[in-house]
Amino acid sequence: MSLHFPCWSSGHRRHPLVVLHGLFGRAANWRPLLAPPPASTTTVASLCVDREVHVLDSTHATHYTYPSLACVLHAQLDRIFGPASQRGDGKPPVIMGHSMGGKTAMYSLLAAPRSTYAAAIIVDVAPVSYVGNAWWTVPRVVDAVHRTLPLLAMDSATVSIADITHALMKDLGGDKRTAQFLASSIDRARRAWCVDVHAIRRDVLSIGDFPFPPLPLPSSSSPRSPSMQEDSLPPVLFIGGANSNHTSASYDPVIRKVFPNAEIVRIPSAGHWVHVDQPMLFTEAVRSFLSTHSL
């Protein structure tokens, strides 16, 4: 698994922010929220103010299990920020993850030494298994993507990317928004998916699961106990869409059991892509959290 960290920054006075996108997401999807806004613009929702930002691009992953993703994440963080044991006196990063990226962030947070992160922001996902829930349609989506592979193998004169997007939409019951989002992960030049579709299909149940308690990461010299205490965790914010099944209020007891210090915010008129549905409210919630904790 190779990782790409594009760095967008307008300063370095605050803790750096590391962002983990979700399944079929890409680093570029987060650029509107993370790229520094023009100096003359005050209405753009940007999280990159006096802060170095790195986006972990997991599109080249070969194993989609949370222990595997967390191990690679920690190796990359050690490379960028130095060993976790040496970050306490400096500015350890704030980690923010959406969906699959959020579960990777939670697993990492629970398995790693306290000094690894200054804080965590978990976006529209809970520390639970979604496997078996009627609303969790990721396996169906992955199967629809897998069925496009023969179409991508045809020449563009026979089957265009627009044709493939339409095929996805039809396969997903007319869900145009999801089809267009998925198609954004197609490399037009190579006529290939930017992700390993076969690996995702193989590991899809692991993606929906959440292994708890986590195993200590190999690089962790002082892994914390699975029995978490509030003072052993950095500040943790959960941001959910009010219209999303992934973080409904029914999951609050589990969130607070795993993360006793969790702050939970739900954004109105937002679904699973809360940062896309309500970018200004999402940014306001993140900024408020970071400001409250002097991050």
Q: What is the pLDDT of residue 213?
A: 83
Boundaries of every domain in the chain: 7-128+210-292, 138-194
Q: Three-class SS of residue 11?
A: coil
Q: Does domain 7-128+210-292 have CATH number 3.40.50.1820?
A: yes
Q: How far apart are CA 166 and CA 277, in angstroms?
A: 23
Write 142-145 long-range contacts (CB < 8 A, 24+).
142/197, 142/200, 142/201, 142/204, 143/201, 144/168, 144/171, 144/172, 144/182, 145/24, 145/182, 145/193, 145/197, 145/200
Q: What is the pLDDT of residue 2?
A: 43
Q: What is the pLDDT of residue 14?
A: 78
pLDDT tens profile 124-154: 999 999 999 999 999 999 999 999 999 999 9
Pairing of strands 94-98, 17-20: parallel
Strand partners, 57: 4
pTM of the model: 0.89
Residue 122: in which H helix or E strand, if any? Answer: strand 119-123
Question: Low-confidence residues of the chain, pLDDT below 70?
Answer: 1-13, 35-50, 59, 85-90, 216-231
CA 33 remoteness from chain centre: 14
Strand partners, 98: 123
